[in-house]
Amino acid sequence: MFDSFVAAFATGKKVTPQRRALLVDFSKKNGIRFNNISLLDLAFHHRSFSNEAGGKLHRYNNERLEFLGDAVLGMATATYLYEDMLEKPEGDLAKIKSVVVSEMTLAPIAVAIGVDTCLVLGKGEELSGGRSKKAILADALEAVIGAYYLDAGYPAAEKLVLKLIVPEIKKVQENRHQKDYKTLLQEFYQKHSKSCPVYELVKRTGPDHDRTFWVSVKLGNDAYGPAQGKSKKAAEQAAAAIAWETLNKK
């Protein structure tokens, strides 16, 4: 299965005995096993490596595996939410999914399972702190999922995803680890702009003891909201949620 992919990419770089030992140790610690360790090796190679290496290795990076892993992650998470939360409407399921598959959630998981120790970066990226960058960590985790899917099939990959993601879903459900939409939005926006989201109080209604606040958020020339809340902070969170969900549907 996927022999052409493996032949084209996974055999493009020899895995040294020392590197193999590191990858096998990573696999054992996380309860998985690779028949083709070269796929796992590829999952940890960032684009900065292939850009610097050039030649036959100019495409030896994890971006295609990340693309595949993102789809597997999304499918496994969505299926779990659909089957586990029968009483929840689509909107609630989408909100939970957007949080637990976000960079903010995936990056700490990646560190917890040892992804950072296996990364292979270009010299420039390494010097700039790439090993601790959330985007690189989250992308590499998705690439590992994609590699495991190719190597072991969907049921095994789904099992790995749920092992990693279900605890995060439970935290959201129990309101013990709610994600901050303002932080999520700021992270997302600052990937594409040097500016920060700007929150604007549109109006206040009701008596002093029962005020309702209406807030909109501006991202450059685009405005989202207004959204309401019983406090200014709650209204800002609601506006950030609208912007976050809108941007993630594009």
Residue 23 CB-half CA count within 13 A: 24
Active site residue 70: yes
Choose one of 173, 206, 221: the last residue of a domain.
173
User: Based on the structure, what is the number of domains in the chain?
Assistant: 2
Catalytic residue of the set 116, 142, 158, 236:
142
The full DSSP string for 109-120 is HHHHTTHHHH-B
Q: Is 216 found in the same domain as 125?
A: no
Q: Is 7 found in the same domain as 54?
A: yes
Q: Is 193 found in the same domain as 130?
A: no
3-state DSSP assignment of residue 226: strand
pLDDT tens for each residue of 100-118: 999 889 999 999 999 999 9
Asked if pLDDT for residue 1 goes beyond 50, the answer is no
The CATH number given to whatever domain includes residue 93 is 1.10.1520.10
Pairing of strands 212-219, 222-229: antiparallel
Range of the domain at 146: 3-173
User: Which range among 90-94, 221-225, 245-249 shows the weakest confidence by mean pLDDT?
Assistant: 245-249
Q: Is 126 found in the same domain as 216?
A: no
Q: Which residue has the tokens 């506006």?
A: 239
Pairing of strands 212-219, 198-205: antiparallel
Catalytic residue of the set 70, 103, 116, 151:
70
Q: What is the pLDDT of residue 12?
A: 57
Q: Is 90 annotated as a binding residue?
A: no
Q: Is 153 found in the same domain as 81?
A: yes
Q: CA torsion, points 180, 109, 143, 249, in degrees to nearest 10?
A: -20
pLDDT tens for each residue of 171-226: 887 654 456 788 888 888 887 787 889 999 999 998 888 899 999 999 989 999 99
Q: Is 125 found in the same domain as 87?
A: yes
**Which residues are paired to 229 by β-bridges?**
213
Distance of CA 226 to the CA centre of its chain: 28
Q: Is 66 annotated as a binding residue?
A: yes
Q: Is 203 found in the same domain as 132?
A: no
Q: What is the pLDDT of residue 132?
A: 92
Q: Which residue has the higher pLDDT, 191 or 43?
A: 43
Contact (Cβ atoms closer than 8 angstroms) between residue 172 and residue 81: no
Q: What is the pLDDT of residue 182?
A: 87
Q: What is the pLDDT of residue 32?
A: 97
The stretch 40-57 carries a mean pLDDT of: 86
Q: With cut-offs at 50, 70 and 90, classify the pLDDT of residue 77.
A: very high
Active site residue 142: yes
Q: Is 84 found in the same domain as 147?
A: yes
pLDDT tens for each residue of 128-152: 998 999 999 999 999 999 999 999 9
Q: Which residue has the higher pLDDT, 103 or 8?
A: 103
Sign of CA dihedral 30, 31, 34, 37: positive
Q: Is 139 annotated as a binding residue?
A: yes
Q: CA-CA distance, 197 to 137, in Å (whole number)?
A: 24
Q: Is 101 found in the same domain as 52?
A: yes
Q: Which residue has the higher pLDDT, 55 or 218?
A: 218
Q: Is 213 found in the same domain as 89?
A: no
Q: Helices (H) and strands (E) in the chain — how many of each?
A: 13, 3
Q: Is 135 found in the same domain as 193?
A: no
Overall pTM > 0.75: no
Residues 6+ positions from 207 with CB-CB distance below 8 Å: none
